[in-house]
Amino acid sequence: MRGKNRARGNPARARRRLRRRRECARSSPCRKVRTLKNNGEFYLGKLAELGAALARSQPGSASFFAQPLRIVQEALGFSLSVLYRVENRIEDVLILEVVEVLDPEGKRPALAPGKLLVIDLARPAAVFRNEAAAFRNRGVAAENIPGDGCDLVGHVAAGENELAAYLIGGDFVGAEADLQEADRRVFEIATGLMSALLLKAHFQHRADHDRLTGLWSSGRIRAELEAALQRCARWPVHGLAVALIDIDHFKAVNDARGHLAGDAALAAFGRLIASRLRAGQDHAGRFGGEEFLIILEDTASDTARSWLELLRISVERHFQSEATGGGAVEPPEPPLTISIGTCLLEAQVPSTPATEVLAAADRALYAAKRAGRNRVVAAGLP
């Protein structure tokens, strides 16, 4: 602890430390906050402010850490704060990217957003001891580091993988730095709150999305269908299209090339669909196996038919290109195509359940299969 705890047994030295602290507080906004750090109400107020800021934020957005970083800096009186993203780990080498720096007095100009730091986890340089310890222990490392090192570093988990994580560092610059147990405890609570919110968002995303294709999961796309039908019942102006899509001869691909080739084809198909969706208006999900469900809201019947036909053509051309050597993935033989059955609703009746709409789309899909596959067949409600 840089020997400064020895002052506690020497009254004269303690008085000198207190006098220097007051002088430092008058010259630095951050040091003024440090004089309040033993006030429990102040800490609780800042933690409540942090909780409210996190509740308003969107996990995964570029601005998620902006307010939390500022609030933590004010709560603990850091001279500067830094946010790192864990970029990679290669054996005992940790690579961090500087994402954001709050350094009002320009104490560490070398820390700039986008800069990469390379840290030896087994033998970290003195200035990176806390970063290395926080990453290894998935917690808070609190050691007064002379010079340019962060005195507190906390680990913020954003997923199950060790690379899905951030590190938040805070530095009490100067000889007056005095790291106390209360600092560590408050920092642990703050980083724990951030981890909890990011992990909740991570697991919610996993529940809502199909991991192979990146589209909505079966449960989520069914829920989106229910919601879309309700909206269409309230505002039946532009209509609604519900399409079931099946990849033709997909079982033959799995049997001939193996499941890895089948998974690659499904992932490619998911990307093709996602690239054509209108944000906030169209929805797509993996319905099960090689079947997919697409919902086109506020879409007239003719427009929906054209959209689905263009999707069918783009899929056919994509896999034809793969078959002729234009792609990086070993192509299926014959090239994959899709059959589409869609139920078109011009003016939805409120009492029509989703099961009837899906049944109509399913009948249209099997009509497309019977007609030779690789086509779009439209149907209405019976």
- DSSP per position, 299-351: --HHHHHHHHHHHHHHHHHHHHHHHTT-SSSPPPSSPP-EEEEEEEESS--TT
Q: Domains in the chain, start-ordered, CATH in brackets?
A: 4-207 (3.30.450.40), 218-379 (3.30.70.270)
Hunting for tokens 């957003």 — which residue is that? 113
Residues recorded for the chain: 382
Q: How far apart are CA 353 and CA 350, in angstroms?
A: 8
Give 180's DSSP letter.
-
Q: Which residues of the chain have pLDDT under 70?
A: 1-38, 62, 174-178, 236-237, 323-334, 347-351
Q: How far apart are CA 35 and CA 116, in angstroms?
A: 34
Provide the pLDDT for residue 7.
Answer: 43
| Residue 125, token pair as written in the block | 């340089």
Non-local (6+) Cβ contacts of 109 within 8 A are 103
Give 159's DSSP letter.
S
> Which of 122, 125, 124, 102 minimizes the C-alpha distance to 112?
102
**H helices within 178-291, ranges in order?**
181-208, 218-234, 250-257, 259-276
